[in-house]
Amino acid sequence: ILQIISWLPAHSSKLAVISFAASGNLLATASERSAVIKVFNWFTCTKYRTFRRGYNVCPLILNLNFTTNAPFLTCTSVSNNNEIFNLSNSSQSHQLLFIFFGKSRNFNAQVLDGSEVVESSPNLVGDALLHEMEHFINQINEQFRQLKSACSTTDSYNEQCDER
């Protein structure tokens, strides 16, 4: 018999994506509205961080991914923007850390305090970090291009099967 061991009231709307940190102690969630990302301590079932991406419906999140030692959480949306959130900062300010990389293929580094940009500059982050992040984000985008291709192939196959 299955029993509920713990319960995390994550979002009021349906979940779009969940992701565990490699250590297994952190769980990130985003709803279909995609305006808020919540990170929970899985072991204690407590909220660890909340990140706001906007106040209305935002582009649907495709992926949440923790970096290896979980100091950052990356978010990829259908608009090809990649956002990197700082998990190691204990204060609630400056949570959105750095990089938007959108269809324009340009970096725009921003640090936000709540919903207000407190600093914005292409040179905010060192060139070496930008180069590394560009490489990392290109890998993420390539994985999702492949995933989208696989999903569209599966959808086409299912449509053909439904017609029979």
Domain positions in the chain are: 15-156
| CATH level 2 (architecture), domain 15-156 | Beta Barrel (2.40)
Query: What are the beta bridge partners of residue 27?
Result: 20, 40
Output 113 or 49, whichever has higher pLDDT.
Answer: 49
pLDDT tens-place string over residues 85-139: 888 755 554 455 544 544 444 444 444 444 444 444 444 444 445 555 566 666 6
32 neighbors 16 (Cβ within 8 angstroms): yes
pLDDT at 135: 60
Q: Is the pLDDT of residue 32 over 70?
A: yes
Q: Can you give the pTM of this predicted structure?
A: 0.57
pLDDT at 29: 92
Output 124 or 38, whichever has higher pLDDT.
Answer: 38
Q: Is the pLDDT of residue 45 over 80?
A: yes
Output 28 or 160, whichever has higher pLDDT.
Answer: 28
pLDDT at 40: 92
For the beta carbon of residue 90, count every other beta carbon within 10 angstroms: 7
97 to 2, 4, 52, 120, 156: CA distances (angstroms): 40, 36, 12, 11, 39
Please tell me the least confidently modeled range out of 8-22, 26-40, 83-97: 83-97
Pairing of strands 61-66, 116-120: unpaired
Residue 35 in tokens: 């305006």
Q: Please compute the mean of the pLDDT values over residues 34-41 and round it to a whole number.
A: 86
pLDDT-above-70 percentage for the chain:
49
Output 66 or 128, whichever has higher pLDDT.
Answer: 66
